[in-house]
Amino acid sequence: ATGDAFVWIGLHEPSEEEFTHVTDEFKLHPLAVEDALKAHQRPKLEVYDDSLFVVLKPVHYEADSDTVSSGELMLFLGDSFVVTVRHGDGTPIAELRK
């Protein structure tokens, strides 16, 4: 993102190839990128130079079917961007983006 622009990119279970362009564009830390691609991480917050990497384990309750699903949500946060990487079905974030 340039100038006053702000970008939010959301990816669901991306391949390494798909994530390469995002990694290069936003200069994401290689260790955080590796964690985001592999999934199965513990919740954590890591600080890298000018960005943050956050791992969350959200759960989602579906009242119609009385089921609970879980997932994994990784966030890369910078001054002008948010990149979210979701794994699993328990990570609906459409309402957050509005």
* Domains of the chain, residue spans: 27-85
Return the CATH architecture of domain 27-85.
Answer: 2-Layer Sandwich (3.30)
Q: Please give the pLDDT value at position 61.
A: 80
Give the helix, strand, coil percentages of the chain, each rounded to 5: 25, 40, 35
Q: Please give the pLDDT value at position 84.
A: 94
Give yes or no for residue 92 having a pLDDT over 90: no
Q: Which helix (H) or strand (E) holds 36?
A: helix 30-38
* Burial (CB count within 10 angstroms: exposed 0-12, middle 13-18, buried 19+), residue 31: exposed
pLDDT tens for 25-78 read 999 999 999 999 998 899 999 999 899 999 998 887 888 889 887 889 999 999
Q: Please give the pLDDT value at position 94.
A: 53
Work out the pLDDT band at 2, boundaries 50, 70, 90. low
Give yes or no for residue 4 having a pLDDT over 90: no
Side chain identity at residue 18, one-letter code: E
Q: Please give the pLDDT value at position 45.
A: 97
